[in-house]
Every structure is written in structure tokens, then in C-alpha cells.
């Protein structure tokens, strides 16, 4: 019985032909596309924006459980939502034991708390990105300083060996 064979991957797009002479002449490759100047662009049938703005919970149709405003104490609000989540999970356990048909409202409440927690955590992403970048740059600086110190140490060792070799050569020639 013969099995039909087919490729599991589609053929590559024809763009690869534009780079066939790249190894001999790197300037033969086409220019990269221009940066996106419009605020929106299509991707896989959906329209995306270049603005990195976290939509508010109201824009998503979700009730916000923590105070609005720019001066939010994230630690306090996350702890509060976490405690509220624990309480609602315990209540859900009680409802499932005593009144199993009434669990849907508790599950909706837990879902609302999770959405608020998720939104709060996502609003901390820019701060996390800055802190990560600072840490990466500080590690790079430290590694470079260590490399410089290692180079200096090896140079001094090489100079010392050269002096000893010269002194040894001078001692044998005299």
C-alpha cells in the first residue's frame, strides 16, 4: 500500500533569491524595510498599534477592584487582591460542599480578581524592563572591567617574563 507523501512545511518564500550573491557582495542585498511611521499596522488579519499602551480594565469591560490614578501602591494592592482571592477560593470550597449549584457566581468573582491581578502585574512591565536593562548593562560593565584587569595582569606577567628572559640571556652571554 503506497502512502502519499507531502511536505510538512510550505516552500520558502521567493525572497531568498534576493540574497543569493550576499556572500560575495554583501551590498547586493536589498535595503531593509522602512520603519513604521503610522500608528497602526496589519498583522495576520488584525490591526495593531505601535503605541505601547496597556488598555484600562474599563476598556476591556472588566470592573476595576483597586483605586484608579497614577499613584497606586502596587505592593499593597497586590497583597489585598491576593488576600481577597484566597478568601474567595475558600468560599468557593464551602459553596461546592454545601450548595454545589451556586458555584458559578464564586467562579466569576475569582475570575474578576485574577483579571485585576493580571492587569496590575502587566502595568509593572515597563518598570521591570527598565530594571532588567539596568541590570544587564551593569553586568556588562562589570565583565568588561574584569576583562581589563585580566589583560593588565597578563601584560604585567608577560613583561616580567620578558625581563627575566632578557636577564637570563644577558647572564649567559657575559
Share of the chain above pLDDT 70, in %: 95
What are the residue boundaries of the structural domains of the chain, listed by start?
Answer: 60-123, 126-162
82 or 50, greater pLDDT: 82
Q: What is the pLDDT of residue 38?
A: 73
Q: What is the pLDDT of residue 75?
A: 94
51-77 per-position pLDDT tens digit: 777 888 998 899 999 998 888 999 999
Grid cell locating 127: 518598570
Share of the chain above pLDDT 90, in %: 54
Grid cell locating 109: 468573582
Q: What is the pLDDT of residue 8?
A: 82
CB 80 within 8 A of CB 120: no
Give 174's pLDDT tier (boundaries 50, 70, 90).
low
Neighbours of 117 (CB within 10 A): 18
CB 115 within 8 A of CB 62: yes
Give 173's pLDDT tier (boundaries 50, 70, 90).
low
Determine if residue 77 is left, alpha or beta; phi over 0 gives left, psi from -120 to 50 gives alpha, anything else beta: alpha
Amino acid at each position: 500500500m503506497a502512502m502519499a507523501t507531502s511536505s510538512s512545511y510550505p516552500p520558502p518564500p521567493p525572497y531568498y533569491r534576493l540574497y543569493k550573491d550576499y556572500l560575495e557582495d554583501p551590498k547586493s542585498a536589498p535595503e531593509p524595510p522602512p520603519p513604521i511611521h503610522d500608528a497602526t499596522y496589519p498583522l495576520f488579519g488584525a490591526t495593531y498599534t505601535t503605541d505601547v499602551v496597556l488598555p484600562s480594565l474599563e476598556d476591556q469591560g472588566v470592573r476595576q477592584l483597586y483605586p484608579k490614578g497614577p499613584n497606586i501602591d502596587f505592593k499593597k494592592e497586590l497583597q489585598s487582591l491576593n488576600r481577597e482571592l484566597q478568601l474567595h477560593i475558600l468560599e468557593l470550597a464551602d459553596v461546592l460542599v454545601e450548595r454545589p449549584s451556586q458555584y458559578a457566581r464564586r467562579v466569576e468573582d475569582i475570575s474578576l480578581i485574577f483579571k485585576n491581578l493580571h492587569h496590575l502585574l502587566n502595568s509593572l512591565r515597563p518598570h521591570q524592563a527598565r530594571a532588567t536593562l539596568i541590570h544587564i548593562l551593569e553586568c556588562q560593565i562589570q565583565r568588561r572591567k574584569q576583562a581589563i584587569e585580566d589583560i593588565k595582569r597578563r601584560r604585567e606577567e608577560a613583561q616580567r617574563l620578558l625581563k627575566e628572559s632578557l636577564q637570563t640571556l644577558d647572564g649567559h652571554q657575559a
